[in-house]
Amino acid sequence: MDTTDDNELFVTEQAADFLGLSVSWMMKARVTGDGPPFAKLSRRVMYRKSDLIAWVSERICNSTSEYEIEALRRHAERKGPAE
């Protein structure tokens, strides 16, 4: 596999197209922390191709129940320890 383009940077529109998601969803996901990692370069938001691929890979499931369990786990991780 040629990895020379893994560090290619995408603007939000390109990243959304690559993932098959809407730009609106990408923008909301940045606020909630549900989306892929991004870099803020001045006013520009950029996504590394390798981060998009890794983000999708982390969400591979074999059943819908497995997906729901993983979604709850990710939500709990973002929320942090209970006080």
Residue 1 lies in a domain: no
Query: What is the number of structural domains in the chain?
Result: 1
Residue 27 lies in a domain: yes
Which two structure tokens, joined as six digits, stand for 1? 């596999």
Q: Are 49 and 18 in contact (CB under 8 A)?
A: yes
* Strand boundaries in 1-83, DSSP class E: 9-11, 39-41, 44-48
Residue 43 and residue 55: Cα distance in Å, rounded?
23
Q: In CATH, what number is assigned to the domain containing residue 60?
A: 1.10.10
Map residue 7 onto helix, strand or coil.
coil
Residue 20 lies in a domain: yes
What is the domain extent for residue 52?
9-79
Residue 36 lies in a domain: yes
Q: What is the pLDDT along the chain (83 residues), one digit of tens a residue?
A: 445 687 899 999 999 999 999 999 999 999 999 999 999 999 999 999 999 999 999 888 788 777 677 777 776 776 666 55
Residue 4 lies in a domain: no
Backbone angles phi, psi at 46, to 5 degrees: -130, 150
